[in-house]
Amino acid sequence: MMIDPISRFLLRTRAATDDRAGEPETVALMYHGVVARGGRPNTRFDVRADAFSNQLDLLAGAGFETVRVADLLRGEASGRRRVAITFDDGFRNNYEGAVRPLLDRRMSASWFVVSDFIGGLAPWVDGDRREREILTEEELRAMIAAGLEIGSHTRRHLDLTKAAPEEIESEVAGSKRDLEDRLSAPIRTFAYPYGRQNGRVREAVVAAGYVAACATRSGFVRAAEDRYAIRRVTVTWGDSLSAFARKLAFAVNDVAWGDVARYGVRHLHARLSAG
């Protein structure tokens, strides 16, 4: 795994983190499709299967503990750096490209599935038909049996901020009921399609009985912050392993060197001011 020395140093020292609570910071990562060798991404949010495996090896080598979203905010002091690996939509290419590599390394992760399209095709993305397939019920059951977490991503992948109240309830609470009925397992977590939410949507998520919900704003996961707007860092097709290391170190999406320098200056200024 080729990582430039500066990115490796940043990951090792966590120079930009704030560990005022005495514990290393937690990062949640957001993935979508995991495309096999020779395949083409439908969007920039897909990753190559070999790149994903390399990222898992980097996490293991750096001493990260993988946790499920439902376990994120328990506040247990393990002393290890924690990462929540999450997948939105539930694409079937995740089964070979992500599930098997995770289990081979005894790692955990969470999937947010669009319940109406289990075993079918995702209509919200264009492109290669094979890469639009959604995990089957049998595959989801096997994932649960292996200790992986399944959460909801609504029934139809709608922008909930544009939905009528009764439609929000159907998409949020209805998807939870559908998944629990089909998979015979509790569904405890949720992810907002497109990351879009408002007060009405959040109220529906809480009322449906979810214990946590993931958004798409980047940043470290902090126990004191809103558990219904968990921050996540997006992993994309173009991320080198060095860029991935910097995303872990800074918990931001933009990790070009100019962005990293500006982030470091702001963080240093904040520390000096606090001191």
Between 71 and 153, the more confident residue is 153
- Expressed as residue numbers, the domain containing 126 is 5-14+23-274
Task: Please report the pLDDT score of residue 258 as a whole number.
Answer: 83
Task: Please report the pLDDT score of residue 15 as a whole number.
Answer: 41
pLDDT in tens, 185-208: 999 999 999 999 999 999 999 999
3 state DSSP class of 121: strand
Task: Please report the pLDDT score of residue 204 as a whole number.
Answer: 98
**Distances, alpha carbon 254 to alpha carbons 83, 160, 235, 238, in Å:** 18, 27, 11, 12
For residues 152 and 115, what is the distance between their CA atoms, to the nearest angstrom?
7
Domain count of the chain? Answer: 1
Q: Is the pLDDT of residue 55 over 60?
A: yes
Say how far residue 186 (Cα) sits from the centre of its chain.
19
Read off the CATH number of the domain in which 151 is found.
Answer: 3.20.20.370
Task: Please report the pLDDT score of residue 192 as a whole number.
Answer: 98
Task: Please report the pLDDT score of residue 224 as a whole number.
Answer: 76
pLDDT in tens, 147-187: 999 999 999 999 999 999 999 999 999 999 999 999 999 99
For residues 227 and 256, what is the distance between their CA atoms, to the nearest angstrom?
29
| pLDDT (average), residues 212-228 | 92
Residue 189 phi, psi (nearest 5) = -130, 160
Cβ atoms of residues 202 and 195 within 8 Å: no
Q: Is the pLDDT of residue 139 over 90?
A: yes
Average pLDDT of every residue of the chain: 91
Which residues touch 18 (CB under 8 Å, ≥6 apart)? 25, 220, 267
For residue 104, the tally of other CB atoms under 10 A from its CB is 10
Q: What is the pTM for the complete model shown?
A: 0.93
